[in-house]
Amino acid sequence: MSASGDAVLAERIVKRYGAKKGAAEKRALDGFDLAVRSGTVHGLLGPNGAGKTTAVRVLATLLRFDAGRAEVAGLDVARRPRQVRSRIGLAGQYAAVDEVLTGRQNLEMFGRLFHLGGGARRRADELLEQFDLVEAADKGVTEYSGGMRRRLDLAASMILAPPVLFLDEPTTGLDPRGRGEVWDAVRALVSGGTTVLLTTQYLDEADRLASHITVIDRGRAIADDSPDGLKDRVGGDRIEVVAAEPADLAAVAKAVDRVAGGGLVVTDAPDRRVHAQVTDRVAALTEVARSLQDEGIAVEDIGLRRPSLDDVFLRLTGHGAQAPDGTEAAA
């Protein structure tokens, strides 16, 4: 580890694509900074194309970068990639396991390639136990559920019990049960002392797992905070009303405005949706429902929701998580 106690350190990393003559240069990372404290789960949160995967691939020695400095487990990534590789685990966006082999055969194969020699078999047994795959150990991976595949993928990335683990969107494409399984496995790893850098598009995933979150947008870190700190900045829960008739939108916005405490009321006309941040969730919901009923305004839906990645982006960058296309207009 570096003297600062950071297991992962990135300073002003630049990664250019298409830098050849003729092609327009694209900066996947544009002065990216990151510091992950040892023994913590750090969330890297951002929409598609923000640079999350590029950041992980750079730190995991898979991609060379053009400028800046990166250190993993106290080792310079650019100068000592081989040594870095024996101290990291990587689980990418797909379960990178051999579909034809059994779970056990996969872990033994990767174990031998991690140079465990005769110890590969014993390590496979330990990992099958740890990731709750003993029953399925001798079945082909094709028979595994999505959650089981990801758990096997995690197990393969933990063969050397590396001090630093990179997880690139570990739950994308999983059903809620699979997500829960992966979350439990990640929590168990961290209690064993592993440092985890986790990328995700879901604020609630980062919130549940990470003790620290870096928000990335267009190749740059735009916020770096604890989950609570981030949510405070973004604001708490939001009330959301969907009007039955477009003509009622103004009246709905007025009713919502009364409970918004002077906050911004957002009207999303194409979806007939009005939403605003509230402090007292239940009182706000009751109040809006009553006043709409009193005025005889029909609503399609009314409810409370937690802030989403979209809200984080709207607040931090002024544009939504998706490319701004005018669908969200402030009222």
Partner 1 sequence: MTALELPATTGRERSRAYWALADCWNVTRRSLTHYQRQPLAIVWQLGFPIISVLLYGYVFGSAMKVPGGGDYREFLMPGMFATTMTLGFMNTAMAVVTDAGKGVIDRFRSMPMAPSAVTAGRGAADLVVASAELAILAATALAIGWRADGGPPAAVAAFGLLLLLRFSLIWVGVWIGLLVPNAESAGGLYAIAFPVTMISSAMVAPSLMPGWLGTVAAWNPVSSTVTAARQLFGNPVAGGGTWIEEHALLMALVWPLVITLVFLPLAVRRFQRLSR
Residues 6+ apart with CB under 8 A from 311: 234, 235, 238
85 touches partner 1 by CB under 8 A: yes
Q: How far apart are CA 139 and CA 158, in angstroms?
A: 20
In 3-state terms, what secondary structure has residue 144? coil
Q: Shortest CA distance to 231 belongs to which of 309, 304, 317?
A: 309
CA 88 to chain centre: 19
Beta bridge partners of 240: 275, 303
73 touches partner 1 by CB under 8 A: no
67 touches partner 1 by CB under 8 A: no
Which listed range, 1-9, 43-51, 54-62, 253-261, lies at the site for partner 1 (CB under 8 A)? 54-62
φ/ψ bin of 244: left (φ > 0), alpha (ψ from -120 to 50), beta (otherwise):
alpha
Q: Which 8-state DSSP code applies to residue 161?
A: -
Indicate the residue among 97 and 274 with the shorter CB distance to partner 1. 97
- Among 117, 176, 296, 326, the residue binding partner 1 under the rule CB under 8 A is 117
109 touches partner 1 by CB under 8 A: yes
139 touches partner 1 by CB under 8 A: no
Which listed range, 80-88, 218-226, 232-240, 299-307, lies at the site for partner 1 (CB under 8 A)? 80-88
- Count residues contacting partner 1 (CB under 8 A)? 37
Binding mask 148-187 for partner 1 (x = CB under 8 A): --------xx------------------------------
HSE-up of 1 (CA within 13 Å, CB side)? Answer: 15
- Among 67, 113, 134, 329, the residue binding partner 1 under the rule CB under 8 A is 113
316 touches partner 1 by CB under 8 A: no
Q: How far apart are CA 7 and CA 194, in angstroms?
A: 10
Structure-block tokens of residue 285: 């919901």
**Pairing state between β 6-17 and 26-37:** antiparallel
78 touches partner 1 by CB under 8 A: no
79 touches partner 1 by CB under 8 A: no
Indicate the residue among 64 and 305 with the shorter CB distance to partner 1. 64
- Among 5, 94, 184, 228, the residue binding partner 1 under the rule CB under 8 A is 94
Q: How far apart are CA 322 and CA 215, in angstroms?
A: 14
Q: How far apart are CA 210 and CA 193, in angstroms?
A: 14
Touching partner 1, residues 245-304 (CB under 8 A): none
Q: How far is the CB of 206 from partner 1 (least distance, A)?
A: 22
User: How deeply is 180 buried, as exposed, middle or buried, from its count of CB atoms within 10 A (0-12, 13-18, 19+)?
Assistant: middle
101 touches partner 1 by CB under 8 A: yes
92 touches partner 1 by CB under 8 A: yes
Q: How far is the CB of 16 from partner 1 (least distance, A)?
A: 10
What angle do helix axes 176-191 and 146-157 make, rounded to 10 degrees? 20
Binding site for partner 1 (CB under 8 A): 57, 60-64, 82, 85-86, 88, 90, 92-102, 105, 109-110, 112-120, 140, 156-157
